[in-house]
A = this chain, B = another copy of it.
């Protein structure tokens, strides 16, 4: 059962019901502009990840600024994007199981669809489905460039799989995917640069093998918000899969630049608006946003613009705030903006975005692919 939206367009932010997922639309648009400029300056394509925002509206805002399309992780997310008007979607992930592969091929009747593989059985399954549905699927061979998750180990196995794709009916060899997820959150610029350099070298060595085998790789896709500036100029990736930059979160805000200062290229545009619903003891306040409104896998949320007030414990529906000595404590009914520790799984808890500009609700739009896990 979809919940009703917590806000109405045109009303004051003070009237938004809580907890609510709030987007500062000005900051969000500046973030989109900045990343578009980074990609344009480096001459790489932008294919922002929709797993983070789960919204065709956001993808269309990105496409309007030059993005070539979107990435997703799930077929169900791709379905929601295509239904919402997105014409080019890469499932930057392996798709396993007859039902899902069939749905992917059916979707390719309506949009340009790509997908990753790291196993010969998947190539065969995708080819069968593509032929049955009379479509062409672009297939990228995923290479494990250091994240240790999915992907073929760089080397001759990549060439074998690419050759299989290349000769499979209904499939078009799209190139390579090399995404280094763990590199995104390394704290110093030096660590991130070293991880990206290592990933880039593995991809370069792989492309040399493909060259020798006469196999094309029109696209090399990868990169993320934490390393985008390095990825863009590494000379190996042809498109960037950045996601979080549109909204940002407390964990990304802990990354440091070359000078050891927090990176502030992209602004915090995403908040969970919460209300103090208990303040029965001095120095403590409890807000109405806990584990079901905020992902805590990358740390607890931070209280925005209230120095000395810390979110110190999350239970299912409660967040406990501690107030430092000498600081005005939040009072019953006060409304606070929380910065989520991790944007992706926080967004996925909500049915609605509340877009805010100049203190008013400017847009209410669905988190259309929320729960799209299949």
Residue contact A97 to B3, C-beta cutoff 8 Å: no
Bits for A325-344, please: 1 = Cβ < 8 Å to B, else 0. 00000001100000000101
- Interfacial chain B residues near A370, Cβ < 8 Å: 1, 371
Residue contact A96 to B277, C-beta cutoff 8 Å: yes
Bits for A306-339, please: 1 = Cβ < 8 Å to B, else 0. 0000000111111010000000000011000000
- Interfacial chain B residues near A351, Cβ < 8 Å: 371
Residue contact A371 to B350, C-beta cutoff 8 Å: yes
For A347, the closest partner residue in chain B by CB is B292
Copies of the protein in its oligomer: 2
Decide if A216 is an interface residue (CB 8 Å cutoff).
Answer: no
Decide if A169 is an interface residue (CB 8 Å cutoff).
Answer: no
Residue contact B373 to A344, C-beta cutoff 8 Å: no
- Interfacial chain B residues near A146, Cβ < 8 Å: none
Residue contact A1 to B118, C-beta cutoff 8 Å: no
Residue contact B76 to A3, C-beta cutoff 8 Å: yes
Q: Mark the stretch among A234-242, A260-268, A283-291 that contacts chain B.
A: A283-291
CB proximity of A178 to chain B, nearest CB, Å:
13
Bits for A272-313, please: 1 = Cβ < 8 Å to B, else 0. 000111111100101011011101110000000000000001
- Interfacial chain B residues near A279, Cβ < 8 Å: 119
- Interfacial chain B residues near A152, Cβ < 8 Å: 280
- Interfacial chain B residues near A284, Cβ < 8 Å: 148
Decide if A181 is an interface residue (CB 8 Å cutoff).
Answer: yes
Residue contact B3 to A372, C-beta cutoff 8 Å: yes
Residue contact B1 to A96, C-beta cutoff 8 Å: no
Residue contact A150 to B368, C-beta cutoff 8 Å: no
Decide if A374 is an interface residue (CB 8 Å cutoff).
Answer: yes
Decide if A80 is an interface residue (CB 8 Å cutoff).
Answer: yes
Given contacts A350-B371, A369-B1, A373-B292, contact A280 B318 (CB under 8 A): no
Decide if A66 is an interface residue (CB 8 Å cutoff).
Answer: no
Residue contact A317 to B280, C-beta cutoff 8 Å: no
CB proximity of A156 to chain B, nearest CB, Å:
14
CB proximity of A140 to chain B, nearest CB, Å:
14
Given contacts A150-B278, A333-B96, contact A373 B316 (CB under 8 A): no
Decide if A61 is an interface residue (CB 8 Å cutoff).
Answer: no
Selected contact of A281 from candidates B51, B144, B314, B317, CB within 8 Å: B144
Residue contact B73 to A317, C-beta cutoff 8 Å: yes
CB proximity of A241 to chain B, nearest CB, Å:
13
- Interfacial chain B residues near A76, Cβ < 8 Å: 3
Selected contact of A275 from candidates B96, B292, B333, CB within 8 Å: B96
CB proximity of A298 to chain B, nearest CB, Å:
9
Decide if A348 is an interface residue (CB 8 Å cutoff).
Answer: yes
Residue contact B97 to A151, C-beta cutoff 8 Å: no
- Interfacial chain B residues near A350, Cβ < 8 Å: 371
13 A-B pairs with C-beta separation under 8 A: A1-B2, A3-B371, A6-B374, A17-B100, A94-B286, A97-B333, A121-B333, A122-B332, A148-B284, A150-B318, A296-B297, A349-B349, A349-B371
Known A1-B366, A149-B286, A348-B349; further 9 A-B contacts with Cβ < 8 A: A96-B288, A148-B284, A149-B315, A150-B277, A151-B280, A153-B280, A291-B342, A293-B373, A351-B371
